[in-house]
Structure 1
Amino acid sequence: MDYICLREKPRQFLALTSLHVAEFDDLRTDFAPAWERYHRWHTLEGKRRQFAAHRERPNAVLAGSDVKLFFLLTYLKNSSLQQHQAASFGISQARVSQLSTALLGVLNQVLARRGLLPVRDGGALAQHLAAHGELVFAYDGVERGVPRNQDREAQAEEYSGKKKPTA
């Protein structure tokens, strides 16, 4: 994928990353220094370097923090297979695994500093919602089918009649 070319196509950029270009640029302002700080002292495997890395290698396929952030956001948004992500960005599947692990850790730190991490605990969620003035929220979820019981009588008890699957 060509990050520079896709920046010029806002609708496609939004579809791939879930962010408008301006939102991406805002996130990049915190992500870039955090990634450079991490990469300076850690390898992609997460091991501490003995000596600081002063710059990115000149032959890096995903050169620059902005390309790395774009890579990670497309990976997270599309839940793609690592092989697909590797083919899309011209790297190996093993490198996708290493990069996504390292980049996700840095992104989570940035989101935590901004107070944008999802709330995972029910009690914490209740506190967060109680403190929120406006009670209008967006919910991003995936609808999944539920396996039906094979017994006809049990099916009748479980079926609410609200929704029928489309063929």
Structure 2
Amino acid sequence: MDYLSLRERPRQFLALTSLRAAEFDDLLTDFAPAWERHHRYHTLEGTQRAFPAHRERANAVLAGSDIKLFFLLTYLKSNALQEHQAASFGISQARVSHLATALLGVLNQVLARRGLLPVRDGGELAQRLANHPEPVFAYDGVERGVPRNTDREAQAEEYSAKKKRTA
């Protein structure tokens, strides 16, 4: 994927990353230094480097923090097979695995510092929602069919005549 040409197509960029270019750039302001700091002292496998890396290798396929963030966001958004992501970016599947793991750790640190990580505890969620300035929230759910009762009289009571489903 060509990151620079996709930036020029806002709708496609949004579809691939879930972010507009300005939002991406804002996130990049925190992600880039965090990634460079992490990469300086750690390998992609997560082990501590014997000597700090002073800069990225000249032959890096995904050169630059912006391309790495784009790589990670497209990976997370599309939930692609690692082989597909590897083919899209011209790297090996093993490299996708190592990069995704390392980059996701850094992104989670950045999102935690910004207070943007998802809440995993119901009590904390209730507290955050109580303090939220806008009390109205949207819920995005999937409509599912409900199994009908086998008893004819019970069916008549439950039937609302809405959204008749054909088999």
Give the TM-score taking structure 2 as reference length: 0.86
Segments of 5+ residues of structure 2 without an aligned counterpart are none
Ranges of 4+ aligned residues in structure 1 off by more than 3 Å: 138-141, 143-148, 159-167
AA of the residue aligned to 1:136: V
Aligned to 1:106: 106
Matching of residues 1-167 of structure 1 within 5 Å? 1-139=1-139, 143=142
The secondary structure found in structure 2 opposite 1:19 is coil
- SS of aligned partner of 2:69: helix
Query: Could you tell me how far apart the structure 1 residues matched to 2:166 and 2:93 are?
Result: 36
For the aligned residue pairs, the C-alpha RMSD in angstroms reads: 2.6
Structure 1 residues 103-127: Cα deviation after superposition (integer angstroms, max 9, x where no partner):
0000000001111111111111011
C-alpha distance 106-140 of structure 1, shift in aligned 2 (>3 A): farther
Instruction: Flag the 1:58–1:112 CA change in 2: closer, same or farther, 3 A.
Output: same
CA distance 1:11–1:53, shift in 2 (3 Å) = same
Aligned-pair CA distance for 1:133: 2.1
1:135 Cα deviation from its structure 2 partner: 1.3
Task: Specify the code of the residue in structure 2 equivalent to 1:78.
Answer: S
Compared with structure 1, are the counterparts of its residues 164 and 117 closer, same or farther at alpha carbon in structure 2 (3 Å cutoff)?
farther
TM-score by length of 1: 0.86
Question: Which structure is larger by alpha-carbon Rg, 1 or 2?
Answer: 2
Gap runs ≥5 in structure 1: none
Percent pairwise identity: 76
Matching residue's letter, 1:135: P
Cα gap change, 1:97 to 1:124, in 2 (>3 Å):
same
